[in-house]
Chain A
Amino acid sequence: MTVPSTQTVVYEWLRHDKKFPHVWCPGCGLGILLGALVRALAASGLTKDQVALVSGIGCAGRLPVYVDVGSIHTTHGRALTFATGIKLSKPELTVVVVMGDGDAMAIGGNHLIHAARRNLDLVAVVVNNRTFGMTGGQFSPTTPMGAKTTTALYGHIEPEFDIAAVCATAGAALVARSTVYHVDRLERLLLQALQKKGFSVVEVMSPCYTNFGRQNLMASHVVMMKQLKEQGIPVERWQKMSEIERRGSFPLGVLVDRDLPGYLDSYREVCKTAAKLRSEGKI
């Protein structure tokens, strides 16, 4: 199989009638994710008609509009609920949900854990830039303690959520993490998530220089990229590290991969049982 060039993939998968440039700031990681996502979609062998892209509100929520698939930009935090309705209605569609950390973990935290528990066949891509970027850099559930934000001028005092760990505990079939710096790994993980049966989560660590980096005295988005490079440790190496060595870093790669009964399969069984009982006159 010949691998199509990036230009070909971009030309094929991005909308031609959508006005560019995109809405993201210079130094944002979302463009890198967009590239990785369309390359993974192209590599998966899916056609554009087989994919629906759903998002919530925020900078990450603006991603689907650029991709030439059925794209739904929903309400804040509720993307997974819309995606649930779409997937159940059209099980043959591959439904990818793009959310930010505030979207997925703050306002939409309830939906994320329940979607993971339900194990419906969705791909959730959670872009974690550790802040509410679009609204001006307020702290999010993944903002590190001590960081300065527009609503934590004296330093953030709440512990942060580990999105991947939450999803793993809640029962997701596949949980993976990458950064936008480790873009090859990101692309591979997205492809793996697309091919996985069940609820898969890919957490994507991404820099927000404009509204997080500047407040925390980081010199530039390049510095933030370098930081991601240093903080992200492949999970194989991470497991061998001591507690002290792990401080300030996070594991990359597939963190959880398990085969669980999927919601769709189970629901088909329910339908069969119900039809049988009705034909026997028992309900």
Chain B
Amino acid sequence: MIKRQARLLQGNEAIVHGALAAGCNFFAGYPITPSSEIMELMSRELPVRGDVFIQMEDEIASLGACIGAGLAGRKAMTATSGPGFSLMQENFGYACMAETPVVVVNVMRAGPSTGMPTNVAQGDVQQARWGTHGDHPCIALCPSTVAECYELTVVAFNHAERFRTPVVLLSDEMVAHTREKVVLPHPEDVEVIDRRRPTVPPDWYVPYKTDGSLIPRLADLGEGYRYHVTGLTHDERGFPTRRLDEVQQFYTRLFAKISRQFHYLENVKDYYLDDCELLIIAYGCSARSARAAVRLGRERGLKVGLLQLLSLWPFPRRPVSEALNGKIAVLVPELNLGQLRREVLRVNDGRTAVIGLNKLDGTMITPEEILTRLRVIK
């Protein structure tokens, strides 16, 4: 057995390693702090493999190029931060509508607008869900450590390919720039899912016709399957339609393909949940502080536990709901004014007290701050 090598990596670097392990072979981006390391490393690695790296003229163009590449059979990714993520929203909706696999990394920084570049925040949680106009399904994942950056990037690509949908990887400045020791798995040990391509001859191919999975097979452009792709509501052949029956069927399927798989998409980690009375629900960089707070709290005899959310959207209702049962109170520490707490409240439905710990000053929530708040609650 080959000895696995431990490496010292930054979160942004781990995202690149994860992407390459998942088969990423196209990257288009535009410089923006604190995500630029991803693009810089991609510009070094992709040409070595003969794959495509391109720096575009803006973030809109970056996601446009990625969607084009996704339709042409590539596993495409782009990386950005708040202002760039805002610019990408229209094309993000296009990718939902045209059901194009693509991974968008958003390394969150303090906003709105230019905000505090290079200062950490978690203010794009609801934007990741509702940023583009119109109702649409969404998958968003959120790492809190360098190792999770690697793992969740692989998962993001697998979800994008499996569900034919754009996937957001919601990192943050702290996770992006922290260097940690990680042991990367062998490439053969990484589970990689590829999109289902048509097996029928081109003449029989109906691009948006689906089987029981509700996810249509995607043919690579230029492989003899000549089909139409549009951001308009379309029928099974991909042609624009406004017929009531066809439009209704289209939207229903677009949501159902994700909502049917809620359980599969739920991704949480729990720490000391068995006997805990005080629950913390956290994600991203705040989950790091929360883990430390749980450890310190336990040392001081506080029955505290943590539910860390790795998948934010679709919101993991079931594990959150189970964790809420029988708790004295729930604390949701986050670097915004309660964007995720709002979701916890919806699931909670009056069962227990859901308390926020919010911060907007561009610094982390510390374990001590969490413990102080917990003591007050107790």
Question: A17 — which chain B residues lie within 8 A by C-beta?
Answer: 237, 239
| B112-147 interface (Cβ within 8 A of A) | none
Number of A-B contacts (CB under 8 A): 142
Give which listed residue, B60, B64, B71, B226, contacts A49 with CB less than 8 A. B226
B206 to chain A minimum Cβ distance, whole angstroms, is 10
Q: Which one of A50, A52, A80, A271 contacts B47 once the chains associate, using CB atoms below 8 Å?
A: A271
Closest CB of chain B to A272's CB: distance in Å? 9
Chain B residues near A226: list those with CB within 8 A: none
- Per-position contact with A for B182-221: 1 when CB-CB < 8 Å, else 0? 0000000000000000000000000000000000000011
Q: Is A231 an interface residue (CB 8 A)?
A: no
8 inter-chain pairs at a CB distance below 8 angstroms, sorted by A residue, are A17-B237, A74-B67, A75-B91, A85-B76, A88-B52, A90-B73, A111-B61, A267-B52
User: Knowing A49-B226, A75-B231 touch, does A85 contact B26 (C-beta < 8 A)?
Assistant: yes
**Which single residue of chain B is at the shortest CB-CB distance from A274?**
B47
Considering the chains assembled together, what is the distance between the CA atoms of A59 and B225 in angstroms? 26
Q: Of all chain A residues, which has the CB nearest B230? A: A73
Assess whether B240 is interfacial by the CB under 8 Å rule.
yes
Which of chain A's residues have a CB closer than 8 A to the CB of B26? Answer: 85, 88-89
CB <8 Å contact, A274 and B48: yes
Contact string, A81-93, partner B, CB cutoff 8 A, digits 1/0? 1111110111011
Cβ-based interface call for B229 (8 A): yes
Residues in A neighbouring B76, C-beta threshold 8 A: 85
Which chain B positions have C-beta within 8 A of A82?
64-65, 67-68, 71
- Smallest Cβ distance from B275 to chain A, in angstroms? 52
- Which residue in chain B gives the minimum CB-CB distance to A81? B64
Contact A86 B232 (CB under 8 A): no
Interface string of B78-98 (1 = CB under 8 A from A): 000000000000110010000
The answer on a CB contact under 8 Å between B232 and A75 is no
B292 within 8 A of A: no
Give the docked Cα–Cα distance between A74 and B65 (Å).
11
Known A81-B60, A84-B68, A110-B57; contact A74-B94, beta-carbon cutoff 8 A: yes
**Other A-B pairs beyond A73-B240, A75-B64, A84-B61, 13, CB < 8 Å:** A64-B228, A70-B221, A72-B71, A72-B221, A74-B94, A81-B64, A83-B68, A84-B64, A114-B56, A114-B57, A267-B52, A274-B47, A283-B44
B224 interface residue, CB < 8 Å from A? yes
Task: Name the interface residues of B314-368: CB closer than 8 Å to any CB of A.
Answer: none
Q: Specify which of B64, B221, B231 is in contact with A93 (CB 8 Å cutoff).
A: B221
Name, among A69, A90, A267, A270, the residue most crowded by chain B CB atoms within 10 Å (CB to CB). Answer: A90
Q: Is B65 a contact of A81 with CB atoms below 8 Å? A: yes
**Lowest 4 CB-CB distances: which A-B pairs, in order?**
A85-B68, A81-B64, A85-B65, A89-B72
CB neighbours of B237 from chain A (8 A): 17
A106 at the interface (CB under 8 A from B): no
Bound complex: CA A180 to CA B74 (Å): 37
> Which residues of B sit under 8 angstroms from A81, Cβ to Cβ?
56, 60-65, 68
* Total B residues in contact with A, Cβ cutoff 8 Å: 46
Q: Is the beta-carbon distance between A89 and B52 smaller than 8 angstroms?
A: yes
User: Is B230 a contact partner of A275 (Cβ separation < 8 A)?
Assistant: no
Residues of chain B at the chain A interface (Cβ within 8 Å) = 26, 28, 44, 47-48, 50, 52, 54, 56-58, 60-74, 76, 90-91, 94, 220-232, 237, 239-240
Q: Which of B71, B90, B223, B225 has the most CB of A within 10 A?
A: B71
Given the complex of chains A and B, what is the CA–CA distance between A51 and B328 in angstroms? 64
| Dominant secondary structure at the A interface | helix
Closest chain B residue to A47 by CB distance? B224
Instruction: Tell me the nearest residue of chain B to A268, going by C-beta.
Output: B50
Report B83 CB to chain A, min CB distance, Å.
16
* Chain B nearest CB, measured from A59 CB (Å): 14
Query: A49 contacts B224, CB within 8 Å?
Result: yes
In angstroms, Cα B52 to Cα A274, docked, is 12
Looking at the assembled complex, report how far the CB atom of A82 sits from the nearest CB atom of chain B, in whole angstroms.
4
Q: In the docked arrangement, what's the CA distance between A88 and B230, Å?
A: 20
Contact A90 B228 (CB under 8 A): no
Residue among B28, B54, B73 having the largest count of chain A Cβ atoms under 10 Å: B54
- Are the CB atoms of A50 and B228 closer together than 8 Å? no
Which residues of A lie under 8 Å from residue B72 when comparing CB positions?
85-86, 89-90, 93
- Whole-angstrom distance between the Cβ of B76 and the nearest chain A Cβ: 7
Bound Cα distance from A150 to B371, whole angstroms: 62
Q: A75-B91, A271-B50 are in contact. Are A18 and B239 (CB under 8 A)?
A: yes
Do A88 and B50 have beta carbons less than 8 Å apart?
no
Which residues of chain B are within 8 angstroms of A273 by Cβ–Cβ distance? Answer: 47
Given contacts A78-B91, A85-B69, A114-B61, contact A283 B56 (CB under 8 A): no
Across the interface, which residues of A come within 8 angstroms of B60, CB to CB? 78, 81
Q: Does A156 touch B at the CB level, under 8 Å?
A: no
A71 on the B face (CB < 8 A): yes
A86/B69 in contact, CB under 8 A: yes
